[in-house]
């Protein structure tokens, strides 16, 4: 049994941590912490997926066994014993960044459109690259996003849109697991001042400003998967969560 844990504020107060931890495979995204949020999101991590640009964090550590805080250039996620970290690489700069991180020989992040982490606490033996086929399938075949040549150093909004980390994670989980659940999916899209994540203070107005994901299309596809019984949603949006909550995936 696999569960893909999104970063949405819909997780806060649900007390799903124990239920999440009972899954065989637990997939998390980007810099989402578990430390201090174990009651709602659990503490185990099997696999963490991220784009290089989503690796830089000011969040607390993601491992319950660690307790240091991090700066904007140092990431402390992925420290759980045996957990793996997989990079979503779709441009040459992503692989260059990953190689430099593993070799601890990091130069300025040329070709990246946002500051990426410059150090981490992930053993090289725990680092993976998710096959680019998943991102291509999500972009071209499912979301029908235009696949264009990247412009080094420019923001995605300048040339294309990208699938969210969470959507790619669900796709990967469906390839590997006979039973897939999701938790923490749902942007408060109709309330600009609403909190986006179960951690931190990011507001919806900051997320919509980027405009690099087609979250409506992603959510429509996820709904189809749920209706067909391929995916189970552990955190369906209810009125008490947020009166302005709108169903679109919070996965960044």
Q: Residue 247: its pLDDT value, please?
A: 47
The mean per-residue pLDDT over the stretch 200-224 comes to: 76
Structure tokens at 156: 């995605």
Q: Residue 205: its pLDDT value, please?
A: 67
- pTM of the full predicted structure? 0.80
The answer to whether the beta carbons of residues 59 and 31 sit under 8 Å apart is yes
The mean per-residue pLDDT over the stretch 177-184 comes to: 97
The mean per-residue pLDDT over the stretch 22-30 comes to: 95
Strand order in the sheet with 47-50: 127-129, 84-87, 47-50, 25-29, 2-5, 180-183, 231-233
Q: Residue 39: its pLDDT value, please?
A: 97
The answer to whether the beta carbons of residues 40 and 15 sit under 8 Å apart is yes
Strand partners, 119: 74
Residues of the chain with pLDDT > 90: what percent? 37
Q: Residue 62: its pLDDT value, please?
A: 39
Angle at 199 between CA 227 and CA 27, to 5 degrees: 45
| Cα distance between residue 20 and residue 61, in whole Å | 18
| pLDDT tens digits, 73-126 | 444 454 465 789 999 987 888 888 888 888 887 665 566 766 777 777 788 899
Assess whether pLDDT exceeds 70 at residue 69: no
Assess whether pLDDT exceeds 60 at residue 157: no
Query: Which domains, from first to last, does the chain contain?
Result: 2-233 (3.90.1480.20)
Q: Residue 108: its pLDDT value, please?
A: 58
Where residue 38 falls among pLDDT bands split at 50, 70, 90?
A: very high
């Amino acid at each position: 049994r696999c569960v893909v844990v999104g970063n949405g504020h819909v997780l806060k107060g649900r007390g799903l941590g124990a239920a999440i931890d009972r899954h065989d495979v637990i997939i998390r995204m980007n810099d989402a912490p578990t430390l201090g949020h174990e009651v709602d999101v659990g503490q185990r991590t099997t696999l963490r997926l991220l784009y290089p640009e989503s690796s830089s964090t000011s969040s607390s550590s993601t491992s319950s066994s660690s307790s240091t805080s991090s700066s904007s250039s140092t990431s402390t996620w992925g420290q759980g014993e045996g957990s793996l970290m997989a990079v979503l690489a779709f441009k040459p700069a992503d692989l260059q960044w990953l190689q430099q991180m593993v070799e601890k020989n990091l130069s300025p992040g040329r070709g990246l459109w946002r500051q990426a982490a410059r150090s981490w606490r992930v053993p090289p033996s725990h680092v993976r690259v998710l096959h680019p086929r998943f991102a291509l399938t999500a972009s071209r075949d499912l979301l029908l996003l235009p696949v264009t040549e990247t412009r080094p150093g420019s923001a995605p909004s300048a040339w294309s849109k990208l699938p969210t980390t969470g959507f790619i994670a669900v796709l990967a989980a469906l390839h590997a697991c006979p039973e897939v659940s999701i938790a923490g999916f749902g942007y408060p899209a109709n309330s600009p001042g609403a909190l986006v994540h179960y951690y931190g203070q990011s507001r919806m107005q900051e997320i919509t400003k980027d405009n690099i994901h087609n979250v409506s299309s992603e959510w429509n596809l996820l709904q189809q998967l749920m209706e067909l019984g391929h995916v189970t949603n552990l955190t369906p949006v209810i009125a008490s969560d947020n009166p302005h909550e709108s169903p679109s995936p919070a996965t960044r």
